[in-house]
Amino acid sequence: MAQLLNHSCEPNCFSREVGSGRVILAALRDIPAGEELTYDYRFSSAETLVCLCGSEKCRGTVNLREDVECNLV
């Protein structure tokens, strides 16, 4: 399911584990009809994946880097 969400450094959704390997997505705020669902993937990787989300808070990468401080939800 997450593959259908667009990455954003300022997302409108977040995930939580709710049991044995189950994950839910929930809204961080009211999301108007027609607005894309976005999610901050925040995964670690040796490869740098460039972020093009356009947010004012964009950190420049989809994945986390040790040299960038991020406010995680």
Identify the CATH number of the domain defined by range 1-73.
2.170.270.10
User: 32-66: per-residue pLDDT in tens?
Assistant: 999 999 999 888 888 888 888 899 999 888 888 65
| Structural domain boundaries in the chain | 1-73
User: Rounded mean pLDDT of 16-28?
Assistant: 91
**% of the chain beyond a pLDDT of 70:** 81
| Straight-line distance from the first to the last Cα atom of the chain, in angstroms, rounded to the nearest whole number | 20
Could you tell me the pTM of the whole model? 0.73
pLDDT, averaged across the chain: 83
φ, ψ (nearest 5 deg) of residue 27 = -80, 140
Q: Distance between CA atoms of 68 and 60, rounded to whole angstroms?
A: 10
Asked if pLDDT for residue 1 goes beyond 60, the answer is no
Instruction: Enter the DSSP assignment of 3.
Output: G
Residues 12, 38 contacting (CB under 8 angstroms): yes
- Which pLDDT belongs to residue 34? 95
